[in-house]
Copies of this chain bind each other. A is one copy, B any other.
Amino acid sequence: MLAQSFAPPPRATPIARADNLLQRIGVRMAFAKDEEIYGQGEAANLIYLVASGAVRTSHFMVDGRRPIDHFYYPGDIFGLEVGDEHTLAAEALSDCLLLVATRSALVAEGGERALQTMLRDTMVRDLQNTREHLMLLVCKTARQRVSGFLLGLAERSPDPVIELAMGRQDMADYLGLTIETVSRMITDLQNNHLVEFQSCRQFVVRDRKALAGIAAC
């Protein structure tokens, strides 16, 4: 069963990912839900590939808030930093299985060039993600943010029934909203028959067009 998780990721990303290497030489590591994978300020030696489950990266702030930078799903690579320190913390969103390798192992196996390429691709993707995230926050209402978020999940899911990897609090932290507002928007979208939640972690898109219409910036 677990072996299946190591198969190519179910979603396509525009950027070529040199993750075959990681697939080959990575060491399996399991993390329990909410377990810390690495902390803010820790040395950044390892490279991670999500095999199963999901991961969030976030900033911890003095006032207790914890804005989420990004969610990583199976097939995604994370943990590569430009400096030698992690600027964000990473935690398991759910129980998850990661493939882990050290930078030196990657160099030993694939050469300096492979590492550079991987680093570059990861950084490019991070920049794109962050810019997209920024746009979402600058110029969207709560309804637009939630719609866009759900639509994004739907687009990368092969299955019509979509599993939410995260709870309302994580969504709220990512979208820059409170859990109450997220909840209200979801209820609202349901009342208008744009989406339908089977349970609070499972939903189906009912009217993709209308949803996209709302989400558009």
Q: Residues of A at under 8 Å CB distance from B?
A: 59, 61-63, 65, 67, 69, 82, 87, 120, 123-124, 126-127, 130-131, 133-135, 137-139, 176, 216-217
Give the CA-CA distance A131 to B57 in the complex, in Å: 12
Give the CA-CA distance A151 to B216 in the complex, in Å: 34
A62 — which chain B residues lie within 8 A by C-beta? 216-217
- Give the 3 A-B CB pairs with smallest separation, nearest first: A67-B138, A138-B176, A82-B124
B131 touches A61 (CB 8 A): no
Choice from B65, B126, B138, B176 contacting A127 with Cβ under 8 Å: B126
A138 touches B137 (CB 8 A): yes
Give the CA-CA distance A120 to B83 in the complex, in Å: 12
Shortest C-beta distance, A203 to chain B (Å), equals: 24
B135 touches A134 (CB 8 A): no
A131 — which chain B residues lie within 8 A by C-beta? 69, 87, 130
Give the CA-CA distance A69 to B63 in the complex, in Å: 26
Shortest C-beta distance, A82 to chain B (Å), equals: 5
Give the CA-CA distance A178 to B61 in the complex, in Å: 26
